Structure 1
Amino acid sequence: MTHVVITGGSSGIGLAVARIYVRRGYRVSLIARGAAALEAARIALDEARDGRVHIATADVADAEAVGAAIRACEAAAGPCDILICSAGIVTPSPFDAQAPADFDRQIAINLSGSVHAVRAVYARMCARGQGRIMLVSSGAGLIGIPGYAAYCASKFALRGFAEALRSEARPKGVTISICFPPDTQTPQLERERAARPAEAEVIMGQVKPWSAEHVATRLVRALDRGRFDVYFGLTLLALGRLAPLVRPLIDRYFDRQIRRLHRVTEP
């Protein structure tokens, strides 16, 4: 039976992905920091009480903890066939106002946390000659956004990691994918918006938030088809495919929009 491991699986996109795989009858393991949220997710998912859903607590920024959590899940449900790296945080702030610890924490969870999870399953996937890995980046991994320097850095870096790993993994039978969701209707989005700078909204407000279920459906479909990169909507598709060619035009457009915003808000 296929075993899916999902980091950040207790809420948001990760939990929505878990619902899809549970409905398929797969074994699903959820990894997150909060034990109470994980247990609530397990109860909600494992309605048949047949032991298909497993949970393990770990901070993905801690490589040893992630490795131990995944090994525990594999001991209970078998080798990991599909890994979804969905754990992430965002703490908006102008770069010069953000505490270094808050900046570093976003890198540690969003980038290093994904790397730690991949490292925990990758060698065994290669040895079996099969496996699928999905890295969850963000629309902020396609365009720089004021107030999101740390978050953008972490999500842009995931693409470089995914592209390099894809080339290494493909001959070994392991499929690497990366997706770039827009704002998604999750508890984290509500917290983030409370701290989002107005300049960021000029850019991020161009794309309407998606539901976690809609994002999850597209993500799983892409994994089924073995696609490498996954975009959500025409705006993010255009950014993903064309932004390097038209970057000066994009920058000038948003620079003008932000200047207008400042003129409006000046006393």
Structure 2
Amino acid sequence: MSNKDLTGKKIAITGGARGIGAATARLLADRGAAVALGDIDADLVDETAASIAAATGVRVVGLKVDVTDRDSFAAFLDEADEGLGGLDVLINNAGIMPTGEFLDESDAVTDRQLDINVHGVITGSKLAGRRFAARGSGHIVNIASVAGISAAPGVAVYCATKHAVVGLGAALHQELAPKGVTVTTIAPSFVNTELIAGLSPNWLVRQIGLVQPEDVGNAIVDAIARKRGGFRAVPKVGGAFLKALMPLPENLRNGLYGALGLQHVTLDSDESVRAAYRDRTEKTTPAKAAAKGRS
């Protein structure tokens, strides 16, 4: 990994109160970058920011943001810019992963995933992209998933959202580069956070696909330090495994997934264990609920 110092960089991260966002913020701060953490949980994001600032001695601020609300997202970027004295990078990290059979999924849960995982990333990319293009420099990092290059039962809509993020990043990597804006898509496999609570990765997944939040954070830090755009899977071996299977006929590929036990990892979730995560992530904000009620 690059050893470049990030002192002087100003970086905003959504979904920054916990998990990948918090781990990435700590790694960036360790490199000297000033960081604005955004999260819907205002109290926790304040605590996380204060803890990282105390441990690293750099500027870290915690700000409330609802990525499903354009005005809230724009205000977050304005506050991050003001609080850090500029903004060089936006990491679109906020995302949720409900599990369960597609036919049982409520429209509200489907909409919640689309609002956060797709619309939130698009909104952030537009808002930050316009800022960066106006001055001819900047970096957008979108967090996708290996579910964006493959798919699994039990997380059908989640897979669809992450395919969208991968496609968006591939297009923006080409479109925004001439404007001086770097676009990176990071696709983690199974990250050991609350997002996979109640799932039971089998032996193969544990060997080639299970990673820690810091592993994803290191890939993000490396991309920023190198100003490296494009797609990157984490871990690389897991991404290479899936990419090697993609040219196979779909029915053969699905048969291999079944034989390897991969189809049951997300389909056979323990929803009692996942209850706290789902309760926290699937609640629609009052403003969003009111807006949908008027539509």
Instruction: Please give the alpha-carbon distance, in whole angstroms, between the structure 1 residues aligned to 2:231 and 2:125.
Output: 17
Q: Which runs of 5+ in 1 are unaligned?
A: none
Q: Please state if 1:71 is matched with 2:85.
A: no
Other-structure match for 1:220: 221
Instruction: Please give the alpha-carbon distance, in whole angstroms, between the structure 2 residues aligned to 1:163 and 1:227.
Output: 9
* TM-aligned CA distance change 1:79 to 1:95, over 3 Å: same
Is this contact kept in 1: 2:90–2:141, CA < 8 A?
yes
Which is further off, 168-177 or 221-230? 221-230
Deviations 1:22-61 (A, max 9, x none): 1122210001100111011011111169671112111111
Instruction: Please give the alpha-carbon distance, in whole angstroms, between the structure 2 residues aligned to 1:48 and 1:97.
Output: 45
What's the secondary structure of 1:102's corresponding residue?
A: helix
Question: TM-score, length-normalised on structure 2?
Answer: 0.79
Q: Please state if 1:237 is matched with 2:240.
A: yes
Instruction: Please give the alpha-carbon distance, in whole angstroms, between the structure 1 residues aligned to 2:86 and 2:155.
Output: 36
| Aligned-residue RMSD, C-alpha | 2.6
Is this contact kept in 2: 1:34–1:57, CA < 8 A?
yes
Partner residue of 1:246 out of 245, 248, 257:
248
Partner residue of 2:195 out of 188, 197, 214:
188
Other-structure match for 2:282: none
Q: Which runs of 5+ in 2 are unaligned?
A: 1-7, 269-295
Q: Kindly report which structure 2 residues correspond to 1:1-267, keeping only aligned pairs within 5 A, or say none.
A: 1-47=8-54, 52-190=59-197, 194=198, 196=199, 207-225=208-226, 226-231=228-233, 232-240=235-243, 242-248=244-250, 249-256=252-259
Q: Give 1:247 deviation, angstroms.
A: 4.4
Is this contact kept in 2: 1:3–1:26, CA < 8 A?
yes
What's the secondary structure of 1:30's corresponding residue?
A: strand
Amino acid at match of 2:240: L
Amino acid at match of 1:236: G
Amino acid at match of 1:134: V
Q: Give 1:179 deviation, angstroms.
A: 1.0
* TM-aligned CA distance change 1:50 to 1:20, over 3 Å: closer
Q: Give 1:114 deviation, angstroms.
A: 1.0
Instruction: Please give the alpha-carbon distance, in whole angstroms, between the structure 2 residues aligned to 1:223 and 1:96.
Output: 40
Q: Following TM superposition, where does structure 1 have runs of at least 4 consecutive aligned residues deviating by more than 3 angstroms?
A: 48-51, 200-208, 255-258
Instruction: Please give the alpha-carbon distance, in whole angstroms, between the structure 2 residues aligned to 1:117 and 1:189.
Output: 25
Q: Percent identity?
A: 29
Q: Give 1:207 deviation, angstroms.
A: 4.0
Is this contact kept in 2: 1:145–1:203, CA < 8 A?
no
Deviations 1:39-89 (A, max 9, x none): 110111111696711121111111111111111111221332011111011
Which is further off, 173-182 or 114-123? 114-123
Amino acid at match of 1:9: G
* TM-aligned CA distance change 1:181 to 1:206, over 3 Å: same
Deviations 1:110-153 (A, max 9, x none): 11111111222111101111111111001211211101011001
Instruction: Please give the alpha-carbon distance, in whole angstroms, between the structure 2 residues aligned to 1:147 and 1:81.
Output: 37
Instruction: Please give the alpha-carbon distance, in whole angstroms, between the structure 1 residues aligned to 2:55 and 2:212.
Output: 26
* TM-aligned CA distance change 1:162 to 1:116, over 3 Å: same
Instruction: Please give the alpha-carbon distance, in whole angstroms, between the structure 2 residues aligned to 1:114 and 1:62.
Output: 11
Other-structure match for 2:277: none
Provide the aligned length of Structure 1 versus Structure 2.
Answer: 255
